[in-house]
Amino acid sequence: MIKSERVKNIIQILNRVYPNPPIPLDHKNTFELLISVLLSAQCTDQRVNQVTPDLFRLADNPEDMCKLDLDTIYGIIKPCGLAPQKSSAIKELSKILVDDHNSNVPNTFQELERLPGVGHKTASVVMSQGFGFAAFPVDTHIHRCAQRWGLTNGKNVTQTERDLKRLFPENLWNKLHLQIIFYAREFCQARSCYGIECEICRTSFPDRKYPIEVKKP
């Protein structure tokens, strides 16, 4: 199966299995989404969704978040890991939003990526899920599957993002990002499938007999 056929096959399977993928991080506004995505670094979405209700009950906007002391933020988000760095980033970026952005989350990659604790992937998720801009955030799940499905050489997440954007229509990026994540967690997991067991791997490479070694980001 050539690459263009694999792409069509992947789209068909994902649309059948996950026709309407939900946004996995619970939030009521763009600020809550930004904080939730920041917290999800090296942490599961499930764990983030467990701690954010307590945090957002105290502060669901930049003004109120600025007023919280670091110990309060830290005490709530500690289960997410990297809590000292994340606590500082949350408080600092909230102050920047108040001082420089009229308490609004900016809707450009450049402005988002200037915020403490916000890298390109976090900015991409906010641009996609918060503002509806076409983006293709690449996390470890997508990076892994893109290699197993023969869509990228896996040098790094930047290359993977570039390759996926080139292969898939722009109007599908936001949905595909979520579909691949859900599929990766359920069917093409890091410690199973190995490129030879799930439906996409089997149909994309029916003659593949040996596990695929994935290059980590």
Residues serving a catalytic function are 121, 139
What is the Cα 34 distance to its own chain's centre?
11
Distances (CA, A) of 192 to 84, 138, 197: 33, 20, 8
Tell me which residue has tokens 């500690």: 78
Among 46, 37, 48, 39, smallest CA distance to 127 is for 37
| Residue 146: φ, ψ to 5° | -60, -35
Length of the chain: 217
Give the C-alpha separation, 135 to 137, whole Å. Answer: 6
Tell me which residue has tokens 């439906």: 199
Burial class (CB in 10 A: 0-12, 13-18, 19+), 2: exposed
